[in-house]
Amino acid sequence: MKAELDSIDVRILAALQRSGRMTNAELSERVNLSPSACHRRVQQLEKAGYIRDYVALLDPVKIGRPTTVFVEITLSAQADEVLEAFEREVARIPDVLECHLMAGTADYLLKVVARDTEDFARIHRRYLARLPGVAQMHSSFALRTVLQTTAIPI
């Protein structure tokens, strides 16, 4: 719960979202806290689940996956077993970065990365077209990323 966070916790979380590799000494200096108190706070935030993980964010262009495709999927039914089967199989697709159950016209929205349109066609044939329970699928290619962040406002 956000109400459990005090201003120091918020400063710590904001700083770590911008630069998760900084040392505890650097973090404690940024949030004006002693290193030992800062370390305890970070451990408490991790234990409470506010900090879920630490990751390296890769440049998709340098990795060879510059193409982002958003795929809207409508299922043939809304039964729990259909949803569960779809979610189980979509989680196995290595090219899918995100999958969201949606309210609105589509049931799911996927974020897929590919090398190019030919690679996306391969992903579509090999994985997406074989997903269970799919009635409709619409793909939209991102032309340019205007804004992308992993930092959640706190």
72 within some domain: yes
Residue 146, domain member (yes or no): no
Residue pair 108/90 in contact by the 8 Å Cβ criterion: yes
Same domain for 111 and 40, yes or no, is: no
38 and 70 housed in the same domain: no
Instruction: Outline where DSSP puts E strands in the chain.
Output: 67-75, 96-101, 108-114, 134-141
Residue 96 is assigned to a structural domain of this protein: yes
What pLDDT, in 10s, does the model give residues 5-31?
Answer: 999 999 999 999 999 999 999 999 999
Residue numbers of the domain that contains 120 = 60-141
- Phi, psi angle pair for 42, to nearest 5°: -60, -45
pLDDT tens digits for range 86-105 = 999 999 999 999 999 999 99
Within 10 angstroms of residue 11's Cβ, the number of other Cβ atoms is: 19
Q: What is the pLDDT of residue 69?
A: 98
Give the CATH number, domain containing residue 88. Answer: 3.30.70.920
Query: Is residue 2 predicted with pLDDT exceeding 70?
Result: no
Domains of the chain: total? 2
Per the domain annotation, does 94 fall within a domain?
Answer: yes
The reply to whether 27 and 94 lie within a common domain is: no
Residue 126: inside a domain, yes or no? yes
Instruction: Examine the domain organization and report whether 81 and 41 are in the same domain.
Output: no
Give mean pLDDT, residues 32-60: 96
pTM of the complete model? 0.89
Q: Residue 35 sits in a domain of what CATH number?
A: 1.10.10.10
Q: How far apart, in whole angstroms, are the C-alpha atoms of residue 26 and residue 23?
A: 5
What mean pLDDT value characterizes the chain? 96
